[in-house]
């Protein structure tokens, strides 16, 4: 079930982009985990007033959101790389339709057509 509308050259280029993106996301996630540990260590060693605590809570919530988004995107990147290996890159996970090349250029880890992604988001 290979996507015959994508050239091997395009797919090879996408693999390079995805591998770079995977490395970048892994560094971000690792750095965030280290930052969280550093913050936890600092919180154990320090006294905070109400404003400091509010800032700490805000920072933790923002980091959690960014971390979740990074981990979700990393899962999609890894799946897209699997699909390249399987010969199904560019085929929607849900519908089996071809994902337009323009969408794949913009979002190399896209696993679904826009329509299928919108349905999933509802």
58-116 pLDDT per residue, tens:
777 887 788 899 999 999 999 999 999 999 999 999 999 999 999 999 999 999 999 99
**What is d(CA 110, CA 105) in angstroms, rounded to the nearest whole number?**
9
DSSP E strand stretches across the chain:
none
User: Is residue 18 packed enough to be buried (19+ CB in 10 Å), middle (13-18) or exposed (0-12)?
Assistant: buried
Fold for 8-121, please state it.
1.20.120
Predicted TM-score (pTM) of this structure: 0.78
The residue extents of the domains of the chain are 8-121
Residue 120's Cβ-side half-sphere holds a number of Cα atoms within 13 Å equal to 12
Q: pLDDT higher for 6 or 50?
A: 6
Q: pLDDT higher for 47 or 34?
A: 34
């Amino acid at each position: 079930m290979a996507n015959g509308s994508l050239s091997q050259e395009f797919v090879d280029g996408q693999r390079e982009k995805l591998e770079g993106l995977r490395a970048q996301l892994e560094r971000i996630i690792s750095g965030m985990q280290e930052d969280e540990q550093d913050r936890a260590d600092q919180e154990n060693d320090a006294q905070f007033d109400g404003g400091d605590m509010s800032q700490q809570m805000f920072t933790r919530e923002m980091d959690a959101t960014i971390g979740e988004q990074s981990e979700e995107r990393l899962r999609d990147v890894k799946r897209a790389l699997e699909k390249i290996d399987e010969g199904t890159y560019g085929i929607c996970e849900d519908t089996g339709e071809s994902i337009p090349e323009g969408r794949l250029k913009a979002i190399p880890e896209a696993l679904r057509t826009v329509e299928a992604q919108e349905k999933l988001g509802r």
